Amino acid sequence: METIDTKASILLVEDDPFVRKSMAVFLENCGFHILQAENGRKGFELFTEKVPDLMILDLQMPGMNGFDLLAAIKNDNSAFPTIVVSGTGSRDDVIATMKLGAWDYLTKPIEDMVLLELSVNQALEKSQLIKENKRYQLHLEEEVSQRTAELQRREQELKMTLISIVDVVASMVEKRDPYTAGHEQRVTSLALAIARELELAEERYEGLGLAATIHDLGKVAIPSEILAKPGKLTSIEYQLIQTHAQIGYDILTEGTAEFPWPIKTIVHQHHERINGSGYPLGLSGHDLLIESRILSVADVVEAMASHRPYRPALGIEVALQEISKHQGTLYDADVVTACLSLFANKKFSFEYS
């Protein structure tokens, strides 16, 4: 019969020297390396010291018996192969040893030693499969965790790259329109504060911050003399300025950067109003992303509170009156409530450099 691993080591724990010797000689002839112990305690010491591949043990032994030895081994190593060879052969003993995790039970005296060899080889084969399976699982888990870490690192790098691109674009827009310097940053800080009030999900919060930073990106296509014109705009000039929401969306759509957030949609919708009276599409209510509804309120409040080329600052009170007056009609009711609460109760204020 084929032996699975001829160098496998077997620990024999048997108090009867004659039985122990005969099994040792037979198994050595089968090609196994044999360790011997004459009682349970020595057996356990050898098991701990030498780490054999399999243990054959008697049940009735002085001191630590076979049941105690089985219990001690299985406590730490439930997958360790053990074969009980006992003269009692009682049904209760067989059940008790199986419950303790013994893999096989042979009755003494073993009439045909080939049965012992068969039992040993089957146990070693099963044990090897268990070990390989464990190794494979461990390897798989390591691989999964390594790949997950790598993906997270790349995702983080991509995010950082996108954020730096957004920063560059934002400062480019601001350079062309110095009269509204700081507008994007102040709008961003108010929009994010409102989002916190509304407990917006963390992943949406990041996207809102970036969209707010470049919400007026489309103004790069508007002549700077119109952006900086001191005094009232003509209706054609006003219409031209209004195209910036669509142009911003077009630029972000044509670009190759794939944002993990709906930035282009937020930019597109930042002048929409919930009753459908905004531009460029006249969308209403829940057709608008919550991020867009937040950004539109933050944008209006900042714009009214601050200085513009065509008028002096109107002040925060006037800005807050404006959103209160149109709460639920032009502006999302919950967003307005959150914004008013920030200024009234949370001491929110804009920072001007």
Shortest spacing between CB 343 and Fe ion, in angstroms: 21
CA distance 271 to 353: 26
Q: Which string of b and e fits 269-304 if b means at least 16 CB within 10 Å?
A: bbbbbbeeebbbbebeeeebbbbbbbbbbbbbbbbb
Shortest spacing between CB 170 and Fe ion, in angstroms: 13
Q: Which stretch binds Fe ion (CB under 5 A): 68-76, 213-221, 311-319, 336-344?
A: 213-221
The CA-atom distances, in angstroms, between 106 and each of 24, 102, 119, 121, 180 are 16, 11, 9, 14, 91
CA distance 262 to 292: 10
Site for Fe ion in 84-123 (CB under 5 A): none
- The question of whether 347 is a catalytic residue gets the answer no
Cβ-closest position to Fe ion? 216
Task: Please say which residue, 61 or 303, places its beta carbon nearer to Fe ion.
Answer: 303
Note whether 216 binds Fe ion by CB under 5 A. Answer: yes
Residues facing 104 on adjacent strands: 83
Task: Please say which residue, 30 or 241, places its beta carbon nearer to Fe ion.
Answer: 241
Query: How many residues are listed for the chain in this entry?
Result: 353
Q: Which string of b and e fits 195-216 if b means at least 16 CB within 10 Å?
A: bebbebeeebbebbbbbbbbbb
CA distance 69 to 118: 23
Q: Which stretch binds Fe ion (CB under 5 A): 52-60, 156-164, 215-223, 324-332?
A: 215-223
Identified catalytic residue from 50, 126, 159, 219 = 219
Shortest spacing between CB 353 and Fe ion, in angstroms: 21
Shortest spacing between CB 296 and Fe ion, in angstroms: 9
Task: Please say which residue, 216 or 272, places its beta carbon nearer to Fe ion.
Answer: 216
Query: What binding mask, one character per residue, do residues 164-193 give for Fe ion by CB under 5 A, x or -?
Result: ------------------------------
Radius of gyration of the chain (CA): 39
Q: What is the DSSP string of 323-350?
A: HHHTBTTTB-HHHHHHHHHHHHHS----
**Please, which residues have CB within 8 angstroms of residue 318's CB and are 6 or more apart in sequence?**
304, 305
Shortest spacing between CB 150 and Fe ion, in angstroms: 39
Q: What is the DSSP string of 45-58?
A: HHHHHH--SEEEE-
Report yes or no: 60 and 13 within 8 Å, Cβ to Cβ: no
Task: Please say which residue, 14 or 216, places its beta carbon nearer to Fe ion.
Answer: 216
Site for Fe ion in 16-55 (CB under 5 A): none
Q: Which stretch binds Fe ion (CB under 5 A): 116-124, 185-193, 212-220, 278-286?
A: 212-220
Q: Which stretch binds Fe ion (CB under 5 A): 1-9, 98-106, 179-187, 210-218?
A: 210-218
Task: Please say which residue, 222 or 336, places its beta carbon nearer to Fe ion.
Answer: 222
Shortest spacing between CB 345 and Fe ion, in angstroms: 28
Residues of this chain that bind Fe ion (CB under 5 A): 216
Residues with active-site annotation: 219
